[in-house]
Structure 1
């Protein structure tokens, strides 16, 4: 890898991972752990079986149960019996949970201040260049 590529990657990493602690902003704004907000964001897409939610969160099933218990107590999700398999539970987001998921998504997806402050021609160049990396 060239020195130039390493410098570019270091700036990209700093911008995305280090410059603004978005995870902490989500935690502070929502008053819950980041893993709970990740669960809400996953459930905002579709209802999910408990076992699938554990897989998506990369957590074990007992911890996923604790996460869902807490979200349920907060009125952000509900657990229902899976209509296709009565042995399984499906977790569904509530309107309040969807609102919290939207807040978390807004925080996580907002561009870093330094990036947003670039002049339009620089943003166009970056967009063109990064488009080649997709």
Structure 2
């Protein structure tokens, strides 16, 4: 299984790298892009949770959120669960960025998937569901 796992890892990195190069949000650092997408899915989120889920260090998450906030894509607000803490949520500009980025990334990936026959394309799409479960458990 080790050679297959290594092949999967290298292939995923190459595909993600290709998709990063092709997206219009290339002004965002990959960690900023991941954090923005995570915030969009689960907002509001505390910075510690962002650090755990991206994953990155707490200082990196703080710097990332500060850059996203400076760009007008997120805002800090009172945590609805613990009023002493702050959480991060999307701004309207952030929501627009997420929509545009998601659409473009899906289109770019669809181009790659069209190179496959129907059976292989279905297999890859089903694997995406399993990989999402692994990512969610990190």
Q: What's the TM-score once normalised by structure 1's chain length?
A: 0.71
CA–CA separation in structure 1 for the residues paired with 2:104 and 2:51: 23
Structure 2 unaligned blocks of 5 or more: 131-138
Equivalent residue, structure 1, for 2:30:
34
Whether 1:45 and 2:49 are equivalent positions in the alignment is no
The corresponding residue for 1:68 is: 65
CA-atom RMSD in angstroms: 3.1
Contact 1:79 1:92 in 2 (8 A): yes
What SS is found at the alignment partner of 1:111?
helix
Shift of 1:82: 1.0
Hey, which bits of structure 1, 4+ residues long, moved more than 6 A?
Answer: none
For structure 1, the residue ranges without an aligned partner over 5 or more in a row are none
- Determine the structure 1 residue equivalent to 2:94: 97
Q: Select the structure with the greater relative contact order (CA < 8 A; seq sep ≥ 6).
A: 1
Task: Give secondary structure in 1 for the equivalent of 2:25.
Answer: helix
| Structure whose alpha-carbon radius of gyration is higher | 1
**Aligned positions, number:** 123
What is aligned with 1:126? 120
The structure that is strand-richer by fraction is 1
State the 1:117 CA deviation: 3.6
Q: Which moved more, 1:60-69 or 1:82-91?
A: 82-91
**Residues 88-122 of structure 1: per-residue CA shift (max 9 Å, x gap):** 1110011111121223323443426453144xxx3
